Amino acid sequence: MKFPTLRHPLAPFAIATLSPVPFLLLGGFLGAPWLVPAFLWLTVVKLAADKLLPDMPRLSAWPGRQPSRADRPAQNAAPADPTPAPLTAAPVVARDYHASAEEPEAGPLASHDEIDSTIASLLRHEAAITKGGHAAFAPLAADEGEPAPSAARRASAPERAGNRLPSKELLSALTSRLASRLAGQLAGRARPSAQPAQPLSGPDRLSVLLAGAHFLLLIAAIYGLSGRAGYGPVGWFIAFFAFGIWFGQVSNSNAHELIHRRDRRLRALGATLYVTMLFGHHASAHRLVHHRFVATLDDPNTAQMGESFYRFVLRAWPGSFIAGYEMEFAIRQRRAARRRVPPVHPYLWYLGGSALTALIVVLFFGFTGFLAWLLLAGYVQLQLLLSDYVQHYGLRRRALSLGKVEPLGARHSWDAPKPFSSALMLNAPHHADHHLHPDRGWADLNADRQSLAPILPYSLPVMGAIALWPAKWRQVMDKRVKMASRTA
């Protein structure tokens, strides 16, 4: 008997993420024995499959696929010009919230985005921003507000003024961009503009389905962990880790993908998932801070070589909260000058949504349910911070002159291309490709072994477990960081 649906390119992701959901739902309401298959799936099966199965290829032709923004230049590109274009993959300059508070989401190797950002910073030309497809939306942040990173922690106002491009380079950027737009028009390719909402693609529909499962499982988890399902001590721990691993590795990855989507509805849904886990600020800090400043000292979520995970947590959690708020505040200041301030500050939604969730939990599940939710949210946040710690540990962008740093490359993220954990985490372990193409959907991410991205020795969940043992972690990773730095 043949099952055509199992041959669908998205089938491995659907099977890996959704298979434990029925058992988690039943276990949350009926008792711990129902949770055993889900727990085994998320632990033993995952480890064995990562060990035995080959890596999965990039999904470049799943049915109904629409070309992503990152793919469009390759599909509709004009004939190659042998003359190198100026400012392609240009170095980025010192962090300045106010001078570049409305640059689009980081796309480090896309020359058009780099030129647009430079022109927007220097000329404050509104058309270069608002026509780029990054529409403002409330109550969450727009895909704006990302200044460029620096090798130093902060740059003073005189230093930032000195980092501005001279008129010759500015003229080169302008002429290059105008020529590029003219070539695009001649080739029948115009910049994307605001369009009516399009039907969701296959990967986005799976993400929405997983988001719905998140809310159902959260109710089941709090119900069971609050004592209403009659767990004993062993059953309680099985339930806690079964639900916690699904939320931490499946739902975290899904929320991360949703906040990167260009559809406002999907971004709002992703931020809401984080809000229910008391981590709403990540929706702003991740896009506006981490993606622009990754692998520099300006990114709170980049771990330095020799820094233990426990020191990293104490620095990264408050650091990302504050940095995300500062970026949102800078965006609102810039918009206020043009009377385009959103009606609700996103941090009010993050904090207010978390408070509303807490109130609902207390009303329906009591104080024990509230404690269970806090423990579960803490475990989920721990897993997200472990991913950040592991995926950029020790990797730094080289400092250039005048406070600039080299452009972001594949060598600034650790990849872990293991098959089952990649399917379970929606290709989140294919991290270098994600940073090079932030708006590329998870189904299109690829961990190419021929790329410059350094490879972790084990899967991402296993490396996260090793990171909890600092001495062992440094024994495994420090020599690899030094090797990656020498070969960069």
Measured distance CA(210)–CA(18) in Å, rounded: 8
191 within some domain: no
121 within some domain: yes
Give DSSP secondary structure letters for 155-172: --HHHHHHTSPPHHHHHH
pTM comes to: 0.76
Are the C-beta atoms of 285 and 381 separated by less than 8 Å? no
**CA neighbor of 147 nearest in space, from 175, 121, 109, 185:** 121
pLDDT score, position 78: 43
Are the C-beta atoms of 262 and 132 separated by less than 8 Å? no
H helix count then E strand count, the chain: 21, 0
478 within some domain: yes
476 class by beta-carbon count within 10 Å (0-12 exposed, 13-18 middle, 19+ buried): middle
Q: Are residues 23 and 136 in the same domain?
A: no
Measured distance CA(146)–CA(290) in Å, rounded: 9
The tens-digit pLDDT sequence of the chain (488 residues) is 454 456 788 999 999 999 999 999 999 999 999 999 999 999 999 999 999 987 654 444 444 444 444 444 444 444 444 333 333 334 444 344 333 344 344 444 333 334 334 333 433 333 333 333 332 223 333 334 334 444 444 443 333 333 333 444 444 544 454 445 444 444 443 334 444 556 778 899 999 999 999 999 999 999 999 999 999 999 999 999 999 999 999 999 999 999 999 999 999 999 999 999 999 999 999 999 999 999 999 999 999 999 999 999 999 999 999 999 999 999 888 888 777 776 688 999 999 999 999 999 999 999 999 999 999 999 999 999 999 999 999 999 998 887 789 999 999 999 998 999 999 999 999 999 999 999 899 999 886 655 689 999 999 999 999 999 999 999 999 999 999 888 76
pLDDT score, position 168: 45
317 within some domain: yes
325 within some domain: yes
pLDDT score, position 201: 84
Measured distance CA(248)–CA(377) in Å, rounded: 9
123 within some domain: yes
Spell out the SS3 assignment of 418-480: CHHHHHHCCCCCCHHHHHHCCCCCHHHCCCCCCCCCCECCCCHHHHHHHHCCHHHHHHHHHHH
**Residue span of the structural domain in which 282 resides:** 17-52+201-487
Domain-ending residue, one of 157, 186, 215: 186
Give DSSP secondary structure letters for 243-270: HHHIIIIIIHHHHHHHHT-SSHHHHHHH
Q: Are residues 442 and 301 in the same domain?
A: yes
Domain count, the chain: 2
- Chain centroid offset of residue 310 CA: 22
pLDDT score, position 450: 54
- Residue 430: CA atoms inside 13 Å, Cβ hemisphere, count? 30
Q: Does residue 139 have a cis peptide bond before it, meaning omega lies within 30 degrees of 0?
A: yes
